[in-house]
Each structure stands twice: as C-alpha cells, then as structure tokens.
Amino acid sequence: MSTPARRRLMRDFKRLQEDPPAGVSGAPSENNIMELSNLPIEFTEEYPNKPPTVRFISKMFHPNVYADGSICLDILQNRWSPTYDVSSILTSIQSLLDEPNPNSPANSQAAQLYQENKREYEKRVSAIVEQSWRDC
C-alpha cells in the first residue's frame, strides 16, 4: 500500500541516488522503505510532518550523541520542518559529526574534552572507532 509517507520517501531516496551531496549516501533497507539501511533511521507514517528517529548502534564518543545512541540535533527535535528530506537529514548528521556543538551537549564529558583538549578528544574517538571495527 502506498501512503503519503512512503511516496515521499521514495521521492527522497530517488533524489538522493540521482544527486547525492558530497560524502553522503543512503538507501532504504531491503525489506522496508521506512528504514535506512546504513544508519538506523526510522520513519513513521507521519513523515514528513514528524521527524524520523535516528540512533547510532555502535558506541559513540561525541558531544551531541547520548549514551543510548540518539542524536541531539535540532532539526530532529524542535526545529523539524516537513521541507527537510532524507538528504538534508543525512547532511545535517554528517555536519554534526564533523563539527560538534559543545554548547548543546548530550555527552558533557565529550563536550568538555572537545573544548579543552581536542587532540585527546580525537584520540578517544579514534580508539572507540577502532574498537567498534574489532567488535564487528
């Protein structure tokens, strides 16, 4: 059955495949257009009127990622707009990962380390990434 949310997601994914932003890609999971395959993003039937939920499944050490993997990103919360599409969501997440916002921390320890000792912060992030690769 084709619902407005599913039709919108089909358009969003088609646009993302045809004109992907630099460094961003994504496709729906094989069996469910309401889920992104690489990053757990779940869309409800209320999309685009309500934002999707996004949660990292691997361990993260980042000022804007909560311990449960959810992301502190304004466009996924109080600044959501139906004009945002899958591409803009992924681009915003990529930007947040590249340029954390320590002024709105989900992880105060990561935010403090990012502000006070960026080299140590980057070492800690690298160690967690390496560990996640070993755990796979």
Strands 28-29 and 32-36: antiparallel
List CB contacts of 130: < 8 A, sequence separation 6 or more. Answer: none
Residue 72 among the catalytic residues: yes
Q: At what angle do helices 118-135 and 108-116 cross, to 10 degrees?
A: 130
Cα separation of the two ends of the chain: 36
Catalytic residue among 60, 72, 106, 111: 72
Q: How far apart are CA 63 and CA 112, in angstroms?
A: 8
Active site residues: 72
